[in-house]
Structure 1
Amino acid sequence: MKMWKRNLIVCWFGMFVTSIGMSQIAPVLPLYIKHLGISNTALIEQFSGIAFGITFIISAVFSPIWGHAADKFGRKPMLLRASLGMAVVIFSMGFAQNVYELIVLRILQGVITGYSTACTTLIATQTDKEHAGWALGTLSTSNIAGSLLGPMIGGYIEENFGLQNVFFITGILMLITFITTVLFVSESFTRENKKVSSIKEIWNIVPNKSLTIIMFVTSFILTLALYSVEPIITVYIAQLSHNTSHVALLAGITFSASGLANIIAAPRLGKLSDKIGAQKIILVALVVAGIIFIPQAFVKNPWQLMGLRFLLGLAMGGLNPSVNVLVKRITPDYLTGRVFGFNISAQYLGIFGGSILGGQVAAYLGIRYIFFITSTLLLLNAVWVYFKVYKKLNVNYPGLA
């Protein structure tokens, strides 16, 4: 088996488990905080929001830092650092004695993140151009699928094995990720003698700055759109369903439907982007996704919503790998880790921003407006991509067409 294919398999598993570790706490967090001694409902909600969101904010800050380290020391050392560190930290959450220890551990989890950044950089730099879109598309399924399936997996473990075992089982999976990375990931890394330290220096030597910014914003909008429904999905399902006994299960399936579709679509659309151009996939995916959001506001039952979320996942499956392909092609190898770090930071901010947006819009305007606002953001992003990327790519960046 070729080295890049073996690396892809290990990185896929590692990113899937890492994403689960980042998101699986969502459904069990209020229960665990209550278990730690907080009985006031308002305080439980407050601490839950802080504990969940702070990991993604801290991760957004540290992803470029670990991307820099990956460019400097190699990607495999960053994979080992992140997987072992997360295994220890997540496992330790099961022993937290109070909510403040839990929050500190969630902060530490955000600090030591970087597995996704290192994996994306490793695959992007060591996969031949003909297979880059397919490889990055396949890899992207792990991150999104893990994030979307994580809450359902966390809820299942809690219900069948207990609260603390959510953390113990995830920690053990991260340890397995560490071991498989040690044994099976290979890297041909040559450090370039280019000393670039500050963000300003990095930005000054990034070619095609406007295109890079558009890709970052697109990554942000993509994850914001996927997660805008997360805070209200249970409430919306309850409104649509006449059988209230299975609301939690239906909500988990509905939220995860787009993740399943993403797993199916992303490798295929990534491969297609290798043939027809990543910019075409990005434009079409944004338009289709923006349109699919609108009927979600008018569904009459949970099954219609599930179907539309599945179609949404199929459409959005082409976005992340195509963005990564373009970022790879416009970025020098010695900056790849840092630029991908910023791109993943944009995704983490999108997860946090989507959760905040969904909750606030639902509270002040109503649930259905979430779908209208998210659709508008996607379609505006599509217009921006059409004029600044699709139409001008052949003229300004002929090597990327």
Structure 2
Amino acid sequence: MIDWKRNFLMVALSQFLSIMGFAFAMPFAPYYIQQLGITEPTELKKWVALFTAAAALTLAVASPIWGALGDRYGRRIMLLRANFGGMLVLSLMGLVPDVKTLVILRLVQGALTGTTTAAQTFVSVQSPHNRSGVVLGTLSAAVFSGSMSGAFVGGLVAEWLGYRAAFMCSGVLLLAAGLLVLLGTREEFVRPVEENGSSMEDRARMFWDKIGPATPILALISIMGFVLLFDSAWMPLLVQEINGGIKGAAFWTGSLQAAGGIAGFLAGPIIGRIADRISPPRIGKISAFGAGLMMTVVGLSQGFWQLFAGRFGAVFCAGGLDPVFQIWLTKTTPAQSRGFVFGWAVTARALGWMAAPMASGTVAWMFGLRAVFFISSALFFLLIPIITLIARYLQPAPQPSAPIHAGRR
């Protein structure tokens, strides 16, 4: 019998290393793009937006395929694919000669990686249903703590050794994450009996039986992905503006990411544990309201202390949204089709991720860099009525109460 606690511990540690690897270099991509020769402000904004959106595009296409394969052949192999694929792509990013090659590799990254969803699917299927909130919340904490550590140390490496060295270190960390999964986890996977549809109508019905109940939550996840990523591509450029130049900006960006990682680390298990007792929609609305307030502080920042305070608060509040919605999805999805549905959840989120940098890039081009953060604040507030509407839509109809008989005590 598989020890789900041991598997969970190994996966959480691998996620820490994996996300640390991605955070080691990715936050500094706008500076790396400038090093590759793109320094004119309008061109820089265009390439930053393209780089950010590229992975989301291929991730949206590939995720349902990987999710379906995970349901058919096992979830552990999907986690191995994501880690070793990331190792290869990020290492190659440190060797690119120009920004076009960098964007092409970013497209490949989206097609091959997706460690977080692979890890969520693996542990959610094996853990007890009544512990899903704690498990996914703790996994979220591992993600944020990895992001915190990777961004801080990566910022120092980028300043001292250069951006290319940071990408090579990313590859090493993802290799370590993959080896941890390979050597430290087990899976006794039993392939489910597949129902063979004899016609297109049967296949469509089978598809809808799996995805239909989760559709409203998937729509909400797509909107959330758009909101969460709306400002992130531009945070390094805001740091560069406050810093007064690119020299030293990688250190401050890494430190800012680390502060956000601490906030996410604290938010994940706290909100995950609460979500096992309080309805996810209520937590989501409170989180969205707090994140909206804090994003206003970020947009008004004139110094690093304001920026750090606003970013910490925004990430703490927003850090509750993704695990809460994932828990909500878990509670409405049968275990045998969870990889399939989680794959579509990544596609939904990736569609939001893909649209966000294009929309925010247009805002930055038309109204200036800081307008991005004020629009982001408004979008968080807009999530509140959207969550309310979807929660009402999913609320089961009240059952008629049984008649009370005179003889009953």
The answer, yes or no, to whether TM exceeds 0.5 is: yes
Q: How does 1:158-237 map to 2 (within 5 A)?
A: 158-195=158-195, 200=204, 203-206=207-210, 209=213, 212-237=214-239
One-letter code aligned to 2:327: V
Secondary structure of the structure 2 residue equivalent to 1:233 = helix
With over 3 angstroms needed to count, the CA separation of the structure-2 counterparts of 1:299 and 1:165, relative to structure 1, is: closer
Aligned to 2:91: 91
1:266 to 245, 265, 268: 268
More displaced 10-residue stretch of structure 1: 179-188 or 12-21? 12-21
Tell me how far 1:92 sits from its aligned partner: 3.4
State how far apart, in whole Å, the 2-side matches of 1:35 and 1:337 are. 40
One-letter code aligned to 1:230: S
Secondary structure of the structure 1 residue equivalent to 2:276 = helix
With over 3 angstroms needed to count, the CA separation of the structure-2 counterparts of 1:65 and 1:148, relative to structure 1, is: farther
Secondary structure of the structure 2 residue equivalent to 1:191 = coil
Aligned to 1:388: 390
Tell me how far 1:27 sits from its aligned partner: 5.0
Aligned to 1:315: 317
Q: 1:18-73 CA deviation, whole Å, 9 max, x = no partner?
A: 3444454445546656776x577577765555444322321222111111111000
With over 3 angstroms needed to count, the CA separation of the structure-2 counterparts of 1:350 and 1:72, relative to structure 1, is: same
TM-score under structure 1 length normalisation: 0.83
With over 3 angstroms needed to count, the CA separation of the structure-2 counterparts of 1:71 and 1:207, relative to structure 1, is: closer
Q: How does 1:2-401 map to 2 (within 5 A)?
A: 3-22=3-22, 24-26=24-26, 28-29=28-29, 38=37, 41=40, 49-96=49-96, 101-144=101-144, 146=146, 152-195=152-195, 200=204, 203-206=207-210, 209=213, 212-237=214-239, 247-389=249-391, 393=395, 395=397
State how far apart, in whole Å, the 1-side matches of 2:63 and 2:164 are. 28
Structure with max Cα Rg: 2
State how far apart, in whole Å, the 2-side matches of 1:40 and 1:306 are. 26
Identity %: 27
| Aligned 8 A contact 1:361 1:369 in 2 | yes
Aligned residues: 394
State how far apart, in whole Å, the 1-side matches of 2:294 and 2:28 are. 30
More displaced 10-residue stretch of structure 1: 336-345 or 363-372? 363-372
With over 3 angstroms needed to count, the CA separation of the structure-2 counterparts of 1:95 and 1:318, relative to structure 1, is: closer
Question: What runs of 5+ residues in structure 2 fail to find an aligned partner?
Answer: 400-409
More displaced 10-residue stretch of structure 1: 193-202 or 370-379? 193-202
More displaced 10-residue stretch of structure 1: 175-184 or 221-230? 221-230
One-letter code aligned to 1:18: S
| Aligned 8 A contact 1:279 1:390 in 2 | no
Question: What runs of 5+ residues in structure 1 fail to find an aligned partner?
Answer: none
| Aligned 8 A contact 1:67 1:114 in 2 | no
| Aligned 8 A contact 1:66 1:117 in 2 | no
| Aligned 8 A contact 2:154 2:254 in 1 | no
TM-score under structure 2 length normalisation: 0.82
| Aligned 8 A contact 2:158 2:165 in 1 | yes
Q: 1:187-229 CA deviation, whole Å, 9 max, x = no partner?
A: 23222112489995564113663xx334234333444333333
Q: 1:213-267 CA deviation, whole Å, 9 max, x = no partner?
A: 3423433344433333334334544665689975553344334433320111111
With over 3 angstroms needed to count, the CA separation of the structure-2 counterparts of 1:176 and 1:298, relative to structure 1, is: closer
State how far apart, in whole Å, the 2-side matches of 1:8 and 1:201 are. 34
More displaced 10-residue stretch of structure 1: 16-25 or 284-293? 16-25
With over 3 angstroms needed to count, the CA separation of the structure-2 counterparts of 1:246 and 1:155, relative to structure 1, is: closer
State how far apart, in whole Å, the 1-side matches of 2:315 and 2:233 are. 18
With over 3 angstroms needed to count, the CA separation of the structure-2 counterparts of 1:236 and 1:174, relative to structure 1, is: closer
RMSD in angstroms over aligned alpha carbons? 3.5
Tell me how far 1:76 sits from its aligned partner: 0.9
Tell me how far 1:312 sits from its aligned partner: 1.7
State how far apart, in whole Å, the 1-side matches of 2:59 and 2:394 are. 33
One-letter code aligned to 1:322: V
State how far apart, in whole Å, the 2-side matches of 1:147 and 1:351 are. 18
